[in-house]
Structure 1
């Protein structure tokens, strides 16, 4: 079975992709999904088949399948097909950065919803734990709002 990590003799592009993957892992993307995402980002067309991903990362088809499943689920990668074959092709979206920040924004809002539910469970905002959770909820909603505003400003800057 292939190794699950980059070889020391990896190309400069592969080493750069591993550094990107480490950054994505640091913000919570599962390690193998982060490696697949970085491989797509650094590929010439921004798209690879599962076999190409496995060859590039030196991982098994099952590992690739699990990693891309996560990326498709969170809408960072789109599944397409290779014309004339039954193979899937995984590709980045057209508005890559908006999709990436949209992913984080959706996570922040979901996190805020979860913390809001927990506030009541721990005794409401009057309890110490509830107050901490309420602050976390409020910050998450604030950050999500700011991120949405930033995305709009980015779109405007790109059109100018």
Structure 2
């Protein structure tokens, strides 16, 4: 009986550990955006510092998004080159402007459209470019 309880507890710990390491939908979406940005920035140029190695540490973050996200203690370029800072900034920005997006959009589509198109990324000018960007992000996100 005692061995069964210990095994069950250990099995629960393993299951919990496995569950905790799975990516959330938001993390998967942000990873797809980061990967897209890497191809966009590194596909045609060879910046060894930025583009080599397995970890690409940035999201393409527009200055106006940075100005409105509340990361004012960092400079824009430092935050844009730090994945954690850029992620915090984008999440804050999305929280602020997500209400402007259509209800039938997924959270990832909302994040992607606001990232590429700013506060009017879901409905405003440049909407065809925003749709193309979302189509590319969606291809990664759904695989």
Where is the strand percentage greater, Structure 1 or Structure 2?
A: 1
Structure showing greater relative contact order (alpha-carbon pairs closer than 8 Å, 6 or more residues apart): 2
Whether TM-score is above 0.5 comes out as: no
TM-score under structure 1 length normalisation: 0.25
TM-score, normalized by length of structure 2?
A: 0.27
